[in-house]
Amino acid sequence: MAKLVSTDQRIVTGVTYPKSVYSRVLCVHCIVPAGMGESVVDVTPVVGNNVYLLGVDLWAYRRAVADWVGGFIWVRSGSEANPSVSEVVSQWQQIIDMSAVGKQAIYWNGEDQHWGFRFCRLYGEAERRFAVAVQNGYAVAWDLFAAFTISEG
């Protein structure tokens, strides 16, 4: 909260009437269906039009210890309520930029994995949703959890 330090300072509205800022975590759970090429998308509820995305955490889990699983993971931002996987991949804004390694998505295969991405990105133009789209690369089903840490206000 801003405080008035000296009496010579001009009082501004933010000091006399401070505005609240809320931080929260939005989570989605993708149950990736069994079968190569099978895909799924999960979308967060809509958030306000002044949102800082502070971080994204992804957890991929196998259903059985002996399973070898993997696939493509897209983390995107957009505004539609019920998009398809192809709409999220082609039309939504990229959150995690993989172009430095020549890829549009995170490709993963193997055992249980956690990824953590930290940044402070402002989305201020319109109401926003965050989404994770996944395409299975193996014949076995697996789970992906995503947590979006946001600050709005």
Q: What's the CA gap between 104 and 102, in Å, rounded?
A: 7
Least confident range from 92-101, 119-128, 137-146: namely 92-101
Split at pLDDT 50, 70, 90, the class of 3 is very low
Ordered by where they begin, the domains of the chain are 22-152 (2.60.120.20)
Residues 6 or more apart whose CB falls under 8 angstroms from that of 110 comprise: 68, 69, 70
Instruction: Calculate the average pLDDT of the chain.
Output: 84
